[in-house]
Structure 1
Amino acid sequence: MSNIFSRTLDRFRGSGSAATTLPPMDGALRPNTRIDEAEALASLEAPDNILSTPDGILLSSRERLLRLTPEGGTDVIWSASSDITCLASDGSGALAVGLDEGRVLIRGGRHDGWEGTQLNGMPIVAPSAAVFTDPDTLLLCLASQDNRMGDWKLDLMTKRASGSVWKLDLAAGTATCLCRGLAFPYGIVAAEENSVIVSESWCHQVLRIGADGRTEVMLAELPGYPGRLVRDVEGEDLWLTLFAPRTQLIEFVLREDEYRQRMIATIEPEYWIAPSLHAPTSYLEPLQGGSLKQLGELKPWAPSRSLGIVLRLDPAGHAKESLHSRANGVRHGVTSCLPSRDGLLMTSKGGDVVVRAKL
């Protein structure tokens, strides 16, 4: 009862969960141009899911699985039947692949040929992230049970929270649900004491999920929508991508149910007042023209629906440093990254490029 009263009071005062205020980007999150200044390694359509394997650095581009070459090009290894939504390597030759059509499969290794479309009778709809803890155990995020990964804007605009996190024992053929009711879990890493760390996009936070299913918020009130997580090549730090920014306008639209429902019913998703992975490209998009630019120059206060941000977190979840592609940049929609001894590799899904920044 107290929760109902609190939410009603928040809506009346515009506070708490009903507030449209946003956390400032200062301190370790201070805006910079490190992503736009980074070295371009390869230009390709919608790069995503970059990871290191015994066969080299692999990444996805729509339905294609690619390998980065030392010369900066890419070789096509495999073409799937739908877009590749997540990748994981066990470090010894096995690769877990999630597909937008609602399927997870294993290529190579001791479980080569394994394929799943259901977990304990529940259909796989949106596999968003995966990580091996050993060759027989796979941790898997399902972002939603209502919408596929390609319909992530619809999932946000309809305010869904049907995501889940699973632990798959590939040898025994069993699946255990670690947590349900999450608002688009999009990144996962294994942690100590059989716990996992998960990014929850629509709640703008990073969670720790214990072996008993209890959740603890590690990092809250992020200024953007968190994506994938990966451990640093040295030490216990984490790297977290923010694939799109939060804005006061989008926060306001999320609280106006009638307007949002009419927008979804009558306008193409590309032109919704919603986060985007790329900089404006059409005159049909919201908030363009005089709202953003004057005499061809971007206004300093212009709201942007797209950005590129990567955060470095310490073991406690505190931000230590960040890399940005700002509103006037083009390397937006950074969905995954890969730390290496030569720098940080990042996939700009909205900018169609893979870059490497010095650290």
Structure 2
Amino acid sequence: MTRRLIRPRRWDPPRLDDAGATARLDVARLLPTGGRGPEDVVFDREGRIIAGLADGRVVRIDPETGERTVLADTGGRPLGLHPRDDGGVLVCDHDKGLLEIGADGAVTRLVEVAFASNVVEASDGTIWFTSSTTQWTLEEHLGDVFEHSCTGRLLRRDTDGTVTTVLDGLKFANGLVLAPDESYLLVAETAGYRIRRHWVDGRTEVLVDNLPGFPDNMWLGSDGLLWVAIAAPRNALLDRLLPRPGFLRLLLWNLPDAVRPKAVPIAWAMAFTLDGERVHDLRTTDGSYGFVTSVAERNGLVVLGSLTASDVAVLGNSHA
């Protein structure tokens, strides 16, 4: 198989400092989605789980009974989700851009954008959303990690439909959370191993740096904690190559799949205070779940989503 050419950019990553897990991640049960790849999982106002599937459907699942309802079919690949109080859902769709699903199931495109990743809405109707990369697709997302393209963006859609790029040059912009008082946003930079805080007044700072893995979607829990899905541990070889001449990464990128370094199979979620202090670091390699791309907490119930799994995982750990 011939891969697309990568154009590596040098970056000197921080030296890995992994404090280890605070507890084992315990999958208590699995909720079938009726499809595959619930990449983002969120709770609606009623405590039901909403997830987007690889076949384009957005489903709602009762966490107690497992009952499923199809809300809509985007015709693309839904990723990040934001539930609205009226029963509608904002959707970042990899293929279609920023969409809204009405309470009646009608799908409307709001913004056409490459690799729309995650979305939140302010009380005044302002919509904030991320675009992970302008260079790569979901299927080729590792190309962006190897290349380190830094083409991720944070964008804002005002109520009049005007779209503004608020931040660019992000290292694979991904999960997005709006502060309770709406004064700032938290943005996961997957390929930068960090979470950035962007104040609405324009200031930007790093909230959490030097994460031991690749942060993906995020969720502000009812417990006041920032829950962060960790898709995979950092790769020591990639970290060594990132500051070196780009042809070394090009050689690695073009190796056959059978001999290329593989991500360590793991299910992993972390939680932080809004000051960036680590509270939970939950991990397991027992094969009960994997490739965690989202985590959400509500009233002590913690659920996980995955780009590759068929189910939503419900954790058995107590996090109240």
TM-score normalised over the length of structure 1: 0.75
Give the drift of 1:164.
0.9
Please, which of 46, 50, 65 is the counterpart of residue 58 of structure 1? Answer: 50
Residue 40 of structure 2: aligned partner: 49
| Equivalent pairs, count | 302
Q: Deviations over 1:79-112 (max 9, x none)?
A: 22221122111222221112221421111169x7
Give the drift of 1:57.
2.0
Q: Deviations over 1:43-71 (max 9, x none)?
A: 65222211122573211121221121443
Question: 2:52 is aligned with what amino acid?
Answer: S
Q: Deviations over 1:270-300 (max 9, x none)?
A: x2xxxxxxxxxxxx25468xxxxxxxxxxxx
Choose between structure 1 and 2: higher helix proportion: 1
Question: 2:165 is aligned with what amino acid?
Answer: C
Residue 298 of structure 2: aligned partner: 340
CA RMSD of superposed structures (Å): 2.7
Q: Contact 1:143/1:149 (CA < 8 Å) preserved in 2?
A: no
Change (3 A) 1:158 1:109: same
Residue 181 of structure 1: aligned partner: 169
C-alpha distance in 2 between matches for 1:219 and 1:117: 30
Q: Contact 2:227/2:270 (CA < 8 Å) preserved in 1?
A: yes
Q: Contact 2:80/2:217 (CA < 8 Å) preserved in 1?
A: no
Q: Note the 1:1-359 alignment, pairs <5 A.
A: 17=12, 21-26=15-20, 29-30=21-22, 32-35=23-26, 37-42=27-32, 44-54=35-45, 56-62=48-54, 63-69=56-62, 70-72=64-66, 74-108=68-102, 114-118=108-112, 124-134=113-123, 136-169=125-158, 171-191=159-179, 192=181, 194-234=183-223, 236-254=224-242, 255=244, 257-265=246-254, 267=256, 271=257, 284=258, 286=260, 305-326=264-285, 328-341=286-299, 343-357=301-315, 358-359=317-318
Question: 1:22 is aligned with what amino acid?
Answer: L
Give the drift of 1:33.
3.1
C-alpha distance in 1 between matches for 2:284 and 2:308: 11
Question: 2:87 is aligned with what amino acid?
Answer: G
Q: Contact 1:59/1:65 (CA < 8 Å) preserved in 2?
A: yes
Change (3 A) 1:22 1:352: farther
Q: Contact 2:72/2:107 (CA < 8 Å) preserved in 1?
A: no
**Taking CA–CA contacts closer than 8 Å with sequence separation of 6 or more, which of the two structures ends up with the larger relative contact order?**
2
Give the drift of 1:117.
4.0
Question: 1:186 is aligned with what amino acid?
Answer: N
Change (3 A) 1:193 1:340: closer
- 5+ residue gaps in structure 2? 1-9
Secondary structure of the residue that 2:87 maps to in structure 1? coil
Q: Contact 1:238/1:312 (CA < 8 Å) preserved in 2?
A: yes
C-alpha distance in 1 between matches for 2:120 and 2:37: 22
Q: Contact 2:225/2:274 (CA < 8 Å) preserved in 1?
A: yes
Secondary structure of the residue that 1:172 maps to in structure 2? coil
Q: Contact 2:218/2:296 (CA < 8 Å) preserved in 1?
A: no
Secondary structure of the residue that 2:249 maps to in structure 1? helix
Larger radius of gyration: 1
Change (3 A) 1:144 1:314: same
Give the drift of 1:341.
2.1
Give the drift of 1:250.
2.5
Q: Is the deviation greater in 86-95 or in 155-164?
A: 86-95
Change (3 A) 1:220 1:287: closer
TM-score normalised over the length of structure 2: 0.84
C-alpha distance in 1 between matches for 2:198 and 2:13: 26
Give the drift of 1:342.
5.0
